[in-house]
Amino acid sequence: MLFNSVSYLAFLAVVTAGFWTLAPRWRQGLLLVASIVFYALWRVEFVFLVVFSAFVDFFFSLKIYATEHPRRRLAYMLLSISTNLGLLAYFKYTYFILGNVALLTGFPRESFFAAVGHIVLPLGISFYTFLSISYTLDVYRREFTPVRSFSLYLTYVMFWPHMIAGPILRAHELIPQIAKPSRLNADDIGSGLRAILFGLFLKVALADQLAPLVDEAFLTDAARLSGLDVLTMAFAFGLQIYFDFAGYSMIAIGSARLVGVRFTENFNWPYLATSPREFWRRWHITLSSWIRDYLYLPLSGLHDRSHSTGGIDIQFVKSRDPVRVTAALFVTWFLMGLWHGASWNFAFWGLWHAGFILLYRLTNQGFEVIPARVRSFLGWGTTLLGVMLGWIFFRASSLSTAFILYGRLLHPANYLYLSFRENFYLIVAIALLSMMGLRWLTVNRWLTVNRWFAADSPVRAVADVVAIAAATFIVFIFLRPIGQFIYFQF
Amino acid sequence: MNKIAFRELANSALVRFIVGTALGLAAIQHYYAGPVDPAKIALGAENTESQESWQGHPITGTSVRAIRAVIDDLAGSLAANPQPKTPVAIWLGNSQLHAINQFKHGDHLAPYWLIEGAVCSDCLLPLGISLPNANMQEQYVLDLDITKRVPVKVVVIELCYDNLREDGLRDDFELLINADLRADLRRSGVGQEILAAWDGRTKVDPDAQEVAGLQGFLQRPLETFLVTRLGEIFPLWAARPSLRGQFLDDLYWGRNWVLGITPSTVRMPIVSRYDRNMRALDAMLANLARKRIVAIGYIAPIRHDLPIPYELTSYSRWKSEVAALAAKYNVTLLNLENLVPNDQWGSYHKSDVDFMHFQGSGHVLVADALRPTVFRMLAGEH
């Protein structure tokens, strides 16, 4: 099901009403049925795939828990994870692997593709695979006691607000909330509805309106674009994907809140970050936290932890093995890139961020002579530019197009003309100015220190009501499922 | 209610949400000004989109679907009468060709006056083929399609500097793009670019654009059903397309007000679009020359009682480039930019001056200006 639709709102109303009407012992069952319906309203046949994948993890997790024998535990864990990764590899990476084999061997790609037929990428497979893997690994590490009820475990995996595109929550964060629902609370309902409304606003009023401009720009012959065009395209897509994904996450968080389940935040004003490290503590926080715990820290040989907050916030320590830590950084980001999509574009996007973080680690200390405020501003500008330019790899139709686009930035003569309508540049300029304004407000702690904006002040209440009224106005006019969420393709 | 209880209530997220939502819905009710005709917004309040027919046959089309119908009708007539005496001329243009400012009884479009003023009733059949803001790439594709399907003798091309800021093909070209047309387009570099952009765009069934994101979802029929039912019981919901049009129009005027944009504000050429459109014009003229079809181009009329919204150096350079192309393909080029007197355009409003659409008398002037050249060309005097 798509969140940005009337049918989703109707579904949500029915499920929420049913949830609070039913006796507590039936509520988890309702969540499972609702989640299955939610997924089946995409394609019914793939529900069985999810159930199969979940059952494998459920089964092997119990086996892991039941035995003390290290080798058996390892074998069960590997069986569980290899089943998940095998399914992910088949559905998501078959074409990518065959395409590269064809490239290396010189055979036509089409003959390889014809041999495997048409493979449909199951919605949310990258996300629910990560949920399952973290569950198995947490049981293996003895950080979580596996649940005995398959229906409870399946509800955790399929819980509709987070199944398709996150937030990626750990078993210990979500399962207890599903197993023991909280009491009906007006504040939960109000906050949930508010989050859904603002999430829809980000999606239908901002992301969906930017999408045609960005699509058109990236369809233009890259070799004819100016440097300003490329910069604008990068920023525009950066804004689009933020509004799209942050909007999705807000709707997910709000939907869960309506049934008394609290998710951790997935975004925290990422474009206000003053360093690449801080950016990844603010962007897709639950994914970067997952990557930190199950990939980066184990590869680096550093201590592991298990919670979906904080993102990748590991300070660069003078490790005894800097080569290993650096290699782990690049391997992690290479895989993080490929997780997003089965193409070299995404791998390069990951490597771009690895390089950016490494550069930050190596140079960070040298800038400490600069006054803090100036350093913070420069850090913000540099981080924003680096992150936005990275999006070119993410959005360009091919790797060669991405390199052509980067090439357009390098020659001063390429900055003397514009290739799109003025509105495109205007929108990006307004967004950039808004970010600067917001940064100014946060740096000066205007919103937090000013008593007018204290949580219980009348000004805050009025501002909140006005914002809700404005969002209602816009969402009412623009709510249509004219586009999917960008992260659905992953 | 005491002060503390009131404060608690005001701070409740649910109360804020209910009050805010109610205010938002009330604001929509207050804001809604009635049904909006998108064509009226695009053309301007004073303009009327017109259609013409001759001897029971449509001779103008203002959308790809309507153009298709005009050509099908003509092809049908020609099939019934394989030895036509009437030479066919197509007149490619933008909304200037199909809109009449301050429409009055008895007004007609220029293609009508061209046929009506001919020396004999069946010695010319001009078809007005115009799309709003038609760019040269679209005119090139239309030209390729039409000249393949009916025996065209003359092509009249309206050359409007403003339309060089447009790019690509609109969605309903889906009706025309087939294997034959693709093969034709692949013959030119710009044709290949047009095809690449066409193929790269997100393809959406024009009838399902409102639920395009649900392509492949079982949810789609449910969504369509709910949206329709909601519209039946809640009129404001059904009015959402008009509300969107009204809101976006207000946003447009708001932008102009904030940035001080007036109708005379200079619009700079968009380099890559300009370049692609000029190459499309080149490819179109080459195609016509190859098929030995006579081409006549004219620089579109524009009003001159206010500074025109073009950067004059670029505008002059464009006219020189068009003249060079005309010379290259031996095309007759007329400059009609000063043809229509200032008093035959739209009313003067400070915030909204129409530089594109003239009154009915302007259509007569344009037809009169073109007629001698068209007939001279038909008589083989080129």
Task: Encode pLDDT of B163-222 as tens digits.
Answer: 999 998 998 898 899 999 999 999 999 999 999 888 887 666 656 777 888 888 888 899
Q: Please indicate, yes or no, if residue B209 is contained in any of the structural domains.
A: no
Residues B141 and B94 in one domain: yes
Amino acid symbol at A472: T
Q: What is the CATH number of the domain that holds B316?
A: 3.40.50.1110
Q: What are phi and psi of B53, to 5 degrees?
A: -140, 160
pLDDT at A314: 55
How far, in Å, are A168, A228, A235, A387, A402 from residue A390 at the CA level?
Answer: 23, 16, 10, 5, 10
CB atoms B218 and A473 under 8 Å: no
Q: Please indicate, yes or no, if residue B38 is contained in any of the structural domains.
A: no
Q: Please indicate, yes or no, if residue B256 is contained in any of the structural domains.
A: yes
Residues B119 and B230 in one domain: no
Q: Please indicate, yes or no, if residue B16 is contained in any of the structural domains.
A: no
Residues B182 and B117 in one domain: yes
pLDDT at A344: 94
pLDDT at A220: 85
Residues B298 and B169 in one domain: yes
| CB hemisphere CA count around B36 (13 angstroms) | 21
Range of the domain at B245: 218-267
With CA atoms as reference, report the closest residue to A177 among A219, A147, A138: A147
Q: How far is B162 from chain A (nearest CA, A)?
A: 12
Of B20, B31, B223, the CB nearest to A468: B20
Higher-confidence position of A323 and B139: B139
pLDDT at B84: 60
Of A421, A476, A480, the CB nearest to B28: A476
Residues B197 and B345 in one domain: yes
Q: How far is B82 from chain A (nearest CA, A)?
A: 44
CB atoms A419 and B271 under 8 Å: yes
State the Cα–Cα distance between residues B105 and B99, nearest whole angstrom.
Answer: 14
B200 → chain A, closest CA residue: A219
Supply the DSSP string of A353-379, one letter for each residue. HHHHHHHHHHHGGGGGGS-HHHHHHHH
Of B14, B23, B219, the CB nearest to A469: B23
Chain A environment of B210 (Cβ under 8 Å): 480-482
For residue range B337-376, list pLDDT tens digits in order: 999 998 899 876 666 788 889 999 999 999 999 988 888 8
Q: Last residue of a domain, which of B250, B267, B284?
A: B267
pLDDT at B120: 62
Residue whose structure tokens are 């009412």: A476
Strands B332-335 and B99-101: unpaired
For residue range A322-365, list pLDDT tens digits in order: 888 889 889 999 999 999 989 999 999 999 999 999 999 888 88
| CB hemisphere CA count around B137 (13 angstroms) | 26
Residues B156 and B64 in one domain: yes
Q: Please indicate, yes or no, if residue B12 is contained in any of the structural domains.
A: no
Percent over 70 (pLDDT), chain B: 90
Residues B63 and B195 in one domain: yes
Enumerate residues 417 to 476 of chain A having a beta carbon within 8 A of any beta carbon in chain B: 417-421, 423, 426, 455-456, 458, 461, 464-473, 476
CB atoms B13 and A194 under 8 Å: yes
How far, in Å, are A3, A105, A227, B65, B81 from residue B55 at the CA level?
Answer: 54, 66, 56, 21, 15
For residue range B217-274, list pLDDT tens digits in order: 888 899 999 999 999 999 999 999 899 989 998 998 899 889 888 878 888 888 888 9
* pLDDT at position B119 over 70: no
CB atoms A468 and B21 under 8 Å: yes
- Note whether B168 contacts A: Cβ–Cβ < 8 A: yes
A488 → chain B, closest CA residue: B213
pLDDT at B1: 47
Residues B253 and B316 in one domain: no
**Res. A432 pLDDT band, cuts 50 70 90:** very high
Number of domains forming the structure of chain B: 2
pLDDT at A442: 81
Which residues of A are known catalytic residues?
A: 340
* pLDDT at position A101 over 80: yes
Residues B105 and B254 in one domain: no
Residues B144 and B166 in one domain: yes
How far, in Å, are B126, B128, B156, B279 from residue B92 at the CA level?
Answer: 10, 6, 6, 17
pLDDT at A448: 66
State the Cα–Cα distance between residues B74 and B147, nearest whole angstrom.
Answer: 12
pLDDT at A355: 94
**Res. A305 pLDDT band, cuts 50 70 90:** low
Percent over 90 (pLDDT), chain B: 47
Residues B74 and B184 in one domain: yes
Q: How far is B97 from chain A (nearest CA, A)?
A: 24
State the Cα–Cα distance between residues A271 and A387, nearest whole angstrom.
Answer: 9
* pLDDT at position A77 over 70: yes
Dihedral sign for Cα B146, B116, B157, B373, please.
Answer: positive
Q: Please indicate, yes or no, if residue B145 is contained in any of the structural domains.
A: yes
| Structure tokens belonging to residue A269 | 């004003």
Domain range annotation of chain A: 6-181, 188-489
How far, in Å, are B94, B97, B153, B155, B328 from residue B294 at the CA level?
Answer: 20, 20, 6, 6, 14
The mean pLDDT value for A27-39 works out to 95
Beta bridge partners of B294: B154
Q: Please indicate, yes or no, if residue B349 is contained in any of the structural domains.
A: yes
State the Cα–Cα distance between residues A365 and A339, nearest whole angstrom.
Answer: 32
CB proximity list for A6: less than 8 A, separation 6 or greater:
A479, B223, B226, B227, B230
Q: Please indicate, yes or no, if residue B95 is contained in any of the structural domains.
A: yes
* pLDDT at position A52 over 50: yes
Residues B225 and B373 in one domain: no
